[in-house]
Amino acid sequence: MSTKTTIAKLPVAAAIVALAGLADSVYLTVHHYTAEPVPCSIIEGCEQVLNSQWAEFQGIPLAAFGAAAYFVAFSLALLTVFGDRRTWRLYGVQATIMAGFSGWLIYVQAALIGAFCQFCLLSAISSIILFVIFIASIFTRSAAPEFESEQLLETD
Amino acid sequence: MKNVKAIETKSNTPMLIIVGVLLVAVLGGWWMYSSSKSAPKTNTANANSTSNSAAANKPKTASIPPGAPPGANPPNQAGSQTASVTLEEFADFQCGSCALTHPIINEIKSTYGSRIHFIFRNYPLAIPAHDKSYEAAVAAEAAGLQGKFWDLQNLLFNNQQAWTAAPTYKTIWKDYAAKIGLDIGKWENDMAGIQAKSRVDADMARGKAIGVSSTPSLYINGNAVPFAEATVSGLKKLIDAELASSNPAAANAAPANAAPANAANTAK
């Protein structure tokens, strides 16, 4: 019961985390276009990060790519919640790419810019949580092979 | 198994939720953007501005909060770092008023020499009319990496009209760079590198934290100078008052006529 419950809850948790990441990324995207300062209460250097050369790619703010990525992750997780188990694998690919990219962005902040932006870190943490949720689903599934065959791999 | 099938029954619910979230994200973003635009926002007291009094009436943070980010370190500075009076300017290379204030500041620097500590901060405004201001600030900082910040800063302000709307502005800047004896190759590399940009970004971070919303913004010992006082006489009055309060003898001393230490203190 507990394993099944955990498996059922993981996509829900993923959808909620993706929504938080989406909200954060939308906020940062809007900030990029309005050039308004963002609150930087926990750490210093938000503007240094958000006004750095890494803040955009081909003229498009990185946060906008993040918003799109979170939206895709949310959609895939939600479809899984509603029974389309195939999308969970796509979610896994998406979460892995996002976590990898977030890791690189943390490196950029730490090593190349020398400053951190709390909203960027929040986004990175969200991505990593999405990835951890996927990994957790793999381990939980191996602990319940019956459930795996009946639900997670059900495609018809 | 049946339950699973039931769950997997074709349903519009997930698609409705997905579309709903997309709408909320787009509309929410648009709402934040619109709210931000309607709020009092960045203003540039540029040459096209018709009203100085309007600029003077703009809300501005009265003083620099102690916890504000330090800005580029070391800053582009002149005079003496141990002076009791610090004049800090936030300026944008495409701002007409900044170009008009530039000779005023130069006169103040000449008049007071080492009795004041002058700091120049880059504050390129993110507005369409200032499409080259960030790049100009980076160009000046890249010149600073060769010890020539003030030389290029002077040329950029003094010749603002010549390059600000010119499609060939980069060629014009290159001419300036050659004129002041920069190693052009290194200067161009530095413009593309992170060091000069980081310095500009650091200054901007400081300005934003302080609440700078227009340029030029001047601060004397951390207190905002009203726009109307940004004249030679207005600044002298304020600086003399500060000098008098910190050291009455120094305030009465003859003005230094030596050139400010603008070359010696150029940012590394």
Instruction: List pLDDT tens digits, range B31-86.
Output: 888 776 554 333 333 333 333 333 333 333 467 887 888 999 999 999 998 899 99
pLDDT tens, residue by residue, A62-79: 999 999 999 999 999 999
Q: Which residues of B touch A51 (CB under 8 A)?
A: 201, 204-205
**pLDDT given at position A150:** 40
Q: Which helix (H) or strand (E) holds B218?
A: strand B217-220
DSSP string, A18-60: HHHHHHHHHHHHHHHHHTPPPP--SSS-HHHHHTSGGGEETTE
Q: Averaged over A92-97, what is the pLDDT?
A: 96
Note the ipTM here: 0.80
Judged by CB atoms closer than 8 Å, whether chains meet at A154 and B8 is answered as: yes
Mutate one of B73, B92, B201 to test the A interface: name it (highest A CB count within 10 A). B201
Structure tokens belonging to residue B244: 């008098």
Instruction: Place B252 in a pLDDT band, splitting at 50, 70 and 90.
Output: low
What is the greatest pairwise CA distance in chain A?
A: 53
Amino acid at B169: Y
**pLDDT given at position B36:** 65
Lowest mean pLDDT of A140-149, B38-47, B54-63, B140-149, name the range: B38-47
Residues 6+ apart with CB under 8 A from B46: B94, B95, B96, B97, B129
Tell me the whole-structure pTM to 2 decimals. 0.48
pLDDT tens, residue by residue, B95-117: 877 888 899 999 999 999 989 99
Amino acid at B199: R
Question: Across the interface, which of B18, B41, B208 has its CB nearest the CB of A75?
Answer: B18
pLDDT tens, residue by residue, B199-228: 999 999 999 888 887 778 899 999 988 877
Q: Which residues of A touch B197 (CB under 8 A)?
A: 52-53
Question: Which residue shows structure tokens 């002076």?
Answer: B83
- Closest listed residue to residue A33, CA positions, set A61, A55, A1: A61
Lowest mean pLDDT of A45-49, B58-62, B100-104, B177-181, name the range: B58-62
